[in-house]
Amino acid sequence: MSEERSLNFLEEIIEGDVREGKHDGRVLTRFPPEPNGFLHIGHAKSICLNFGIAQQYNGKTNLRFDDTNPVTEDTRYVDSIKEDIKWLGFDWDQELYSSDYFDQMYAFAMQLIQKGKAYVDDSTAEEIAASKGTPTEPGIPTPFRSRSVEENIRLFEEMKAGKYADGAKVLRAKIDLASPNMHMRDPLMYRIRHAHHHRTGDEWCIYPMYDFAHGQSDSIERITHSICTLEFIPHRPLYDWFIDELEIFPSKQYEFARLNMNYTVMSKRKLLQLVNERFVTGWDDPRMPTISGYRRRGYTPGSIRNFCERIGIAKRENIIEYSLLEFCIREDLNKSAWRRMAVLDPIKLVITNYPAGKEEVLVGENNPEVEGGEGARNIPFSREIWIEREDFMEEPPKKFFRLGVGLMVRLKHAYIVKCENFVKDENGRVTEVHCSYIPESRSGSDTSGINVKGTIHWVSVLHAKTAEIRLYDRLFQVEDPSSEDGDFKEYINPDSLTIIRNAFIEPDLATAIPGKGYQFIRKGYFTLDIDSNENSLVFNRTVTLKDAWAKESKKG
Ligand code: ATP
Ligand code: MG
């Protein structure tokens, strides 16, 4: 527990429970994803909370796949979820599946039927909805509510045996049709679904509803603190009711505010639409708010954990700025990324007084942020180099500390050059910048006595490698696409991806390490993309060096 912050409300509860010796001071949480999509940054918050809080109190966390809905679930999602949790740096105690408890849940349901606390209802979904009443008006019993225990047992057995079609019957808890809490008005426990399940195959054709499955799974595992998001507050009385009626281990549910973030959507259903309708290349597209998307884009596990820690645990919904996540990754990469040079929009610079055919090997440390620089790499230098087109101006304004005729800059890790001239093609486009260099100004052994204000990056023409560079911008143009009129996909940013096909990079980047962050000096943080192969290198920009949007909005 870090000293500088006070306990959040969940830590207070758990600390109190541990102090009182509740459950012998044992803390067991669970992370319960439904395997119907890839995890997103909202799930990361839940993971950090469930695993983090258990670690804090010497407890454990189960990974439980909440796989009670056969139609949308898939093993491919199970695998991706496990990979993402591990990547975030957490390890579960047991890997469990709600579907492993189907027999036990069926037995629990029978127990409630025998107690007269559950009944088989033949009404249609519409009839049930209509008979539930409204928050101000009590519901009315359907004709099936008064079925005998014996009849309910027989019908439920027949439901299980596959005698009825989908939707023909449901099992409902018999609670209180006048309850002010609509969830307590005889909620559904089981429905019929003749569908193949990713683990149980065709063994079952009845499946438990979330409210019946979730709390019972918690109880079977003897979960002490079952943490979920605020929308489940009205479900809590039902969670407790099932556990009380079944007289099973008293797991307790606690709720916190879900993570919402601007300029994106955070629901697997919507993310799946983006994938299926090809607005993105897949769940791991670097523009997606998924953990796999952030990983591919170059985010580190530490930056995401840090983000989750900073936003904290609240009891009220709010919207977190995407720029906070960017702040966290910049802070991380500033300390860990290796510095390299890459020219994204090249123009040739010729050093007229540097001997043709001469080559030098300059040295640049990998990471100036740490003692020793984490080693260094060789940077070849020669007469012709690539520089960024924007670092030269035909008619430079005052305070342009880059190149224009008569101006001087330092080439990073190399020499000071002075611009003498430039060459244009027939369309008036500058094609070459001509400079002279000052031989005594070599970085590290500069005896020239000349001070220049600007330093620019460059790559030797003779030694440069080419790469494709992918620049990303926010995926949506509006802060909350889900609350706008019409379909959320109408608000996709058409410029969310810019591809630069022929950037020049320093040769050392040919052996860039997958998963490692690189700062391309003055251009941002980058990482190798999985589309790279030995013939073509592809880099993703993780984040810019500065917050371009903050500047933009200040301009007004
Ligand atoms: P989605 O609507 O994106 O499908 P979900 O809640 O249905 O989300 P689950 O797989 O059921 O997805 O969620 C697993 C766990 O992650 C749950 O405990 C859920 O409360 C939590 N969770 C999901 N979304 C968020 C979020 N945005 N912020 C915090 N926790 C979340
Ligand atoms: Mg869910």
Q: Which atom of ligand 1 is nearest to the CA of 36?
A: 10
Position 240 pLDDT exceeds 60: yes
Task: Identify whether residues 83 and 105 lie together within a single domain.
Answer: yes
Mean pLDDT value of segment 310-325: 93
Task: Identify whether residues 381 and 497 lie together within a single domain.
Answer: no
CATH number at residue 356: 2.40.240.10
Task: Identify whether residues 444 and 402 lie together within a single domain.
Answer: yes
pLDDT at 285: 98
Domain count, the chain: 3
The CA 360 to ligand 1 mean position distance, Å, reads: 56
Nearest CA to ligand 1 atom 22: 43
Position 334 pLDDT exceeds 80: yes
Task: Identify whether residues 275 and 367 lie together within a single domain.
Answer: no
pLDDT at 556: 38
Which residues, at least 6 apart from 140, have a Cβ–Cβ distance to it below 8 Å? Answer: 131, 133, 177
From 11, 15, 34, 360, the catalytic residue? 34
Instruction: Please name which ligand lies nearest the alpha carbon of 270.
Output: 1
Q: What is the pLDDT of residues 450-508, one digit of tens each?
A: 999 999 999 999 999 999 999 999 999 999 999 999 999 999 999 999 999 999 999 99
Mean pLDDT value of segment 42-56: 98
Q: What is the pLDDT of residues 409-445, one digit of tens each?
A: 999 999 999 999 999 999 999 999 999 999 999 999 9
pLDDT at 104: 98
**CA dist., res. 249 & res. 223, Å (int):** 8
Active site residue 555: no
Position 3 pLDDT exceeds 80: no
Task: Identify whether residues 272 and 216 lie together within a single domain.
Answer: no
The CA 369 to ligand 2 mean position distance, Å, reads: 43
Active site residue 360: no
Mean pLDDT value of segment 277-297: 98
Q: Of 428, 457, 486, which residue is a domain's last?
A: 457
From 26, 199, 222, 258, the catalytic residue? 258
What does 125-173 look like in DSSP terms, one character per residue? HHHHHHHT-BTTB-----TTTT--HHHHHHHHHHHHHT-S-TTS-EEEE
Closest Cα to residue 39, out of 85, 97, 73?
85
The CA 21 to ligand 2 mean position distance, Å, reads: 32
Active site residue 4: no
Mean pLDDT value of segment 375-384: 97
Position 535 pLDDT exceeds 90: no
Task: Identify whether residues 310 and 165 lie together within a single domain.
Answer: no
pLDDT at 73: 81
Number of neighbours of residue 135 by Cβ within 10 angstroms = 8
Position 154 in a domain? yes
Nearest CA to ligand 1 atom 4: 268
The CA 246 to ligand 2 mean position distance, Å, reads: 24
Closest Cα to residue 260, out of 229, 281, 233?
229
Position 392 in a domain? yes
Position 488 in a domain? yes
How high is the mean pLDDT of the chain? 96
- Containing 362, the helix (H) or strand (E) segment is strand 360-365
Task: Identify whether residues 504 and 378 lie together within a single domain.
Answer: no
Position 1 in a domain? no
Mean pLDDT value of segment 157-178: 98
Q: What is the pLDDT of residues 79-94, one digit of tens each?
A: 999 999 999 999 999 9
Task: Identify whether residues 92 and 215 lie together within a single domain.
Answer: yes
- CA 481, chain centre distance (Å): 18
* 3-state secondary structure (DSSP) of residue 24: helix
Position 376 pLDDT exceeds 50: yes
By residue range, what is the domain housing residue 189?
9-258
Mean pLDDT value of segment 184-199: 97
pLDDT at 1: 47
The CA 34 to ligand 2 mean position distance, Å, reads: 6
Position 290 pLDDT exceeds 50: yes
pTM greater than 0.85 (yes/no): yes
Position 422 in a domain? yes
Q: Of 409, 439, 457, which residue is a domain's last?
A: 457
Number of neighbours of residue 351 by Cβ within 10 angstroms = 23
Residue 218 is given by DSSP the state H
Mean pLDDT value of segment 28-32: 98
Position 50 pLDDT exceeds 60: yes
Task: Identify whether residues 104 and 204 lie together within a single domain.
Answer: yes
Ligand 1 neighbours (beta carbon < 6 A)? 32-34, 42-43, 45-46, 66, 228-229, 258-259, 266-268
Position 220 pLDDT exceeds 50: yes
Task: Identify whether residues 364 and 473 lie together within a single domain.
Answer: no
Q: Which of 38, 45, 46 to mutate to test the pocket of ligand 1 (most atoms within 8 A of CB)?
A: 46
pLDDT bucket at 550, cuts 50 / 70 / 90:
low
**CA dist., res. 173 & res. 186, Å (int):** 5
Dihedral sign, CA of 37, 41, 42, 44? positive
Position 462 in a domain? no
Show the tokens assigned to 378.
């060789």
Position 548 in a domain? yes
Instruction: Please name which ligand lies nearest the alpha carbon of 227.
Output: 1
Q: Of 221, 236, 258, which residue is a domain's last?
A: 258
Show the tokens assigned to 22.
């509740």
Task: Identify whether residues 287 and 358 lie together within a single domain.
Answer: no
Q: Which of 39, 43, 290 to mutate to test the pocket of ligand 1 (most atoms within 8 A of CB)?
A: 43
Task: Identify whether residues 277 and 305 lie together within a single domain.
Answer: yes
Position 3 in a domain? no
pLDDT at 553: 52
